[in-house]
Each structure stands twice: as C-alpha cells, then as structure tokens.
Amino acid sequence: MKRLSRLVPAVALCLAAGFANAADRTVFRDDFSDSGSGWIDTQVADHKAKGIALYNNDGGYQMTPVDDATYGIVPAPKQAPGADVQVEASLFLYTGVGQGTGGVVCRHSDHGNFYAFMVSGSHGYAILKVQGGKAETLANGRFEGVMPNMADLRIGARCKGPSLKLMLDGEVVAEATDAAHSDGQVGLIVMGEKMAGTSAVFDDFELRAIAR
C-alpha cells in the first residue's frame, strides 16, 4: 500500500512480532490486497457500521465516519476461539480539522460494550472501556508525531484475562487492568466528525490467540 508519510520501519514490525509469546497462535492475517477476504465492504455510507468501510484498491482498508461522536467498528472476518488475543494493524490516520481517532478493539460484544486501543491525530493514545455505551479512559499518554492531524504507526492490543496492553510500533506504551468484559470479538475502530475529513486506513492486520 502506498502511504503519504513514512512506512512503518521493518524493525518495528519485528519488535511487534517479538512481543507475542512463541506459543501464541496466528489465527488470521490480512494485507487487504484481496477485496474478497471478508471484511465489510460498504462502498457507500453504512449507518449500521457508522461509517464508510471499504477496500481502497491501494492495498489498504479505509474507514470513514458518517456520524459525529459515534464509534464506527468493523469486526474481523475471522475470530480467535477465546477472548485472550493479540491484535495488530498498521494505521494511517488523518483527522482533518477534527478530533478523530482510530485503532483496534477487543472483546466487542456490541457498539456499547468493548475495549478500544486508540490514537488520535493530535498524537494522543488511550485504552478505553466502553460499557453500557459509556466510555471510561483506563490509561492514556502522548507519542511523537511527524505531522499535525496525522498518525502513521503500527497499533496493537494484547488482552489476556483482565490485563490490557496498548502497543505502538511494537512497544507497550500503556497498561490497564479491568474485568468488565470477558468475551467478544476483535476488530478495527474509527471515531470522528463526518464533516472534518477523518479517515483511517489500515494495513497488515494480524490476530493471534494467546496461549494460556
């Protein structure tokens, strides 16, 4: 996939792969080069998915919000057999003039209940718990970004029991402990303002089942 800024360094991908335990099992990988690999492909606004989600014909998967202040989530087409997972994807996020965010989710049972691992165009990151439609920040911080209103990195989450870890370019940057959600799916998430130009393009998705 051609990207507007830097490519994720190969060393970061190696670090990300190295974080997974050798006994962890890869369940699903996708570089989005095949538009038939199973992700939602709306081509038009889908208010059920709360956005436009499509293969962008440039080797990536693009998600654009169509509703303000609403989580747009697309579950992965293949899921791990249990709730202990590690999920990663390369992300190019452009937030225009708004406050857009993008990332990955685990233990998503519906749009009101899940854990989100997100970055913003203003170079913040956070682990969120959404329960009963209400969001709570479990951990947050800031990273160095190349340009304002953009994020270009590899984002990952490791959800094992009550332990939640957010990874950026293979490094654990935030951790939290929470037991509100014990099962559910993994997927991709974007949130923004429909008139602000928020857009998230994902690539090189990987889902691993964590060994107990």
| pLDDT at 5 (0 to 100) | 35
Beta strands at 185-191 and 113-120: parallel, antiparallel or unpaired: unpaired
Beta strands at 185-191 and 199-209: parallel, antiparallel or unpaired: unpaired
d(CA 55, CA 61): 5
- In sequence order, the 6+-apart residues with CB closer than 8 A to the CB of 204 are 13, 29, 30, 31, 88, 89, 90, 154
Which domains are present in the chain? 10-209 (2.60.120.560)
d(CA 141, CA 129): 16
Binning pLDDT at 50, 70 and 90, where does residue 149 land?
Answer: confident
pLDDT above 50 for 10: no
Report the pLDDT averaged over residues 46-67: 78
The more confident residue out of 20 and 15 is 20
Closest listed residue to residue 192, CA positions, set 106, 131, 91, 102? 102
Within 13 Å and on the Cβ side, how many CA atoms surround 208? 22
Per-residue pLDDT of 182-198, as tens digits, reads 999 999 999 876 666 78
pLDDT above 60 for 2: no
Per-residue pLDDT of 110-122, as tens digits, reads 989 999 999 998 8
